[in-house]
């Protein structure tokens, strides 16, 4: 949906100086006119939304860190400035903030701990379980350090077994993926540690189906959900995992240093907190959240990020970012030397596309695009050597066309 004529007239009446549509940097109220629920191909609307960002160049690496829109930057900075007044600091309506977050990610009331990132949230889950030597944690060969190292630490320290397998990376069906996980489970398997979206290829995994199957066998599920919230419409209750970890500073476009751990209510009181601070013995979610003095301005920024997403529409953002990725995927597929590693089936693709180009390396491709001020992610982990491109809402079709043209001409 585009901004209506009535909206524009209302806007012009409120801000006469802007009636000529010179809107590069708008005052806060004018930003309320962000298009709501734009169609995935409504380029006027997405061009308008792109102007909410201060990105200098082209950002194709949201998978590592998102860019905050102006409303998030302003809210964070304003709160920080008020904090430094010392007297007259601004309070945060924490219960309201938590309710908004719960609605956004579909979490149970009182189930979200606000932490620093996915890495910390995964560590809270891993260290909070009573696992013993010989207990097995099953995962894949495509885990990010942020979802993997917590188990490697437990393996070294307590003798748990962290076992990985390679799932089908180009599946035809959900059943194929579920069956691949099931085939790996042994009588010693206590935990499935599952990336909702693989960092390496952007492949979506059937987490709800895996959780249902695991629970029926008393196997605990820990989901590394670093990417979905802000990219895919996410409903934690429908997934129903024991623990779901995420980083709003990626696709949700919140300030760096914001993480969430969603704990299934029946697990809260029996999971050990990672840090012993004032509330460690509380039987509610505060036991994970109280880590001593921390930066409340980040919470304010996170709240503004949720509002920003809601004003555009979660479904609209998912449709747009995934359709951009499909456009990119299809354009790359036309280049003879390109070997795509993201799934062919669009149902398993998200808003990250990974590939190789025969005769060159991801390092060289990253340098080529970097010279054109395009930020990308090289997946060098485990020797994979892919280039990964993320397509968030500040990316336009013409940006992708330019990127693909550069890649087509990549020297061997």
- The contact set with ligand PLP (CB under 6 A) reads 63-64, 117-119, 144, 146-147, 195, 199, 224, 226, 247
Closest distance to ligand PLP from the beta carbon of 192 (Å): 15
Q: Which is nearer to ligand PLP, 122 or 285 (CB)?
A: 122
Residue nearest to ligand PLP (CB): 146
Question: What residues form DSSP beta bridges with 352?
Answer: 390
Residues 6+ apart with CB under 8 A from 348: 171, 203, 204
Closest distance to ligand PLP from the beta carbon of 212 (Å): 22
Closest distance to ligand PLP from the beta carbon of 229 (Å): 12
Element (H, E) at 151: helix 145-158
Closest distance to ligand PLP from the beta carbon of 121 (Å): 8
What distance in Å separates the CA atoms of residue 165 and residue 41, rounded to the nearest whole number?
39
In this structure, the number of other CB atoms found within 10 A of the CB of residue 281 comes to 9
Q: Which is nearer to ligand PLP, 227 or 327 (CB)?
A: 227
Q: In the 8-state DSSP scheme, what is residue 28?
A: G
Q: In the 8-state DSSP scheme, what is residue 277?
A: S
Q: Which is nearer to ligand PLP, 61 or 111 (CB)?
A: 61
Closest distance to ligand PLP from the beta carbon of 132 (Å): 26
Question: What residues form DSSP beta bridges with 162?
Answer: 137
Q: Which is nearer to ligand PLP, 202 or 273 (CB)?
A: 202
Q: Which is nearer to ligand PLP, 46 or 199 (CB)?
A: 199
Residues 6+ apart with CB under 8 A from 181: 138, 167, 192, 194, 210, 213
Helices 207-215/174-182 angle, 10° precision:
40
Half-sphere exposure of 352 (CA within 13 A, CB side): 30
Closest distance to ligand PLP from the beta carbon of 173 (Å): 23
Q: Which is nearer to ligand PLP, 261 or 300 (CB)?
A: 261
Question: Following DSSP, what letter does each residue of 331-349 receive, concatenated?
Answer: HHHTSTTEEE-S-SSGGG-
Q: Which is nearer to ligand PLP, 63 or 301 (CB)?
A: 63
What distance in Å separates the CA atoms of residue 248 and residue 133, rounded to the nearest whole number?
34
Closest distance to ligand PLP from the beta carbon of 128 (Å): 17
What distance in Å separates the CA atoms of residue 403 and residue 412, rounded to the nearest whole number?
17
């Amino acid at each position: 949906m585009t901004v209506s004529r009535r909206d524009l007239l209302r806007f012009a009446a409120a801000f006469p100086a802007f009636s000529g549509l010179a809107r590069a940097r708008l005052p806060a109220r004018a930003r309320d006119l962000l298009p709501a629920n734009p169609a995935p191909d409504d380029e006027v609307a997405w061009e308008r939304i792109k102007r909410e960002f201060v990105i200098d160049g082209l950002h194709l690496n949201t998978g590592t860190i998102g860019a905050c829109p102006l409303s998030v930057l302003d809210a964070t900075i304003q709160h920080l400035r008020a904090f430094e007044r010392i007297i007259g600091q601004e309070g945060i309506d924490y219960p309201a903030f938590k309710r908004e977050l719960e609605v956004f990610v579909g979490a149970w009331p009182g189930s979200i701990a606000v932490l620093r990132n996915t890495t910390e949230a995964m560590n809270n889950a891993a260290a909070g379980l009573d696992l013993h030597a010989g207990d097995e944690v099953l995962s894949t060969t495509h885990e990010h350090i942020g979802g993997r190292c917590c188990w490697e630490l437990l393996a070294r320290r307590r003798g748990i077994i962290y076992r990985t397998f390679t799932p089908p990376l180009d599946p035809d069906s959900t059943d194929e993926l579920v069956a691949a996980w099931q085939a790996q489970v042994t009588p010693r398997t206590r935990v499935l540690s599952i990336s909702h979206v693989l960092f390496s290829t952007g492949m979506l995994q059937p987490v709800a189906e895996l959780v249902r199957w695991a629970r029926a066998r008393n196997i605990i599920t820990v989901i590394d959900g670093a990417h979905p919230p802000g990219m895919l419409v996410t409903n934690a209750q429908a997934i129903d995992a024991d623990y779901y970890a995420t980083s709003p500073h990626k696709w949700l476009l919140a300030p760096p240093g914001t993480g969430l751990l969603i704990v299934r209510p029946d697990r809260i009181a029996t999971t050990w907190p990672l840090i012993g601070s004032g509330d460690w013995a509380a039987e509610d979610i505060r036991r994970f959240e109280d880590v001593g003095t921390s930066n409340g301005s980040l919470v304010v920024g996170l709240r503004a990020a949720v509002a920003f997403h809601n004003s555009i529409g979660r479904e609209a953002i998912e449709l747009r970012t995934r359709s951009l990725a499909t456009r990119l995927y299809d354009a790359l597929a036309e280049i003879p030397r390109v070997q795509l590693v993201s799934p062919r089936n669009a149902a398993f693709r998200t808003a990250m596309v990974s590939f190789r180009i025969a005769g060159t390396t991801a390092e060289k491709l990253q340098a080529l695009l970097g010279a054109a001020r395009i930020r990308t992610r090289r997946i060098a982990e485990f020797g994979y050597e892919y280039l990964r491109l993320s397509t968030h809402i500040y990316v336009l079709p013409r940006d992708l066309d330019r990127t693909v043209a550069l890649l087509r001409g990549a020297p061997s």
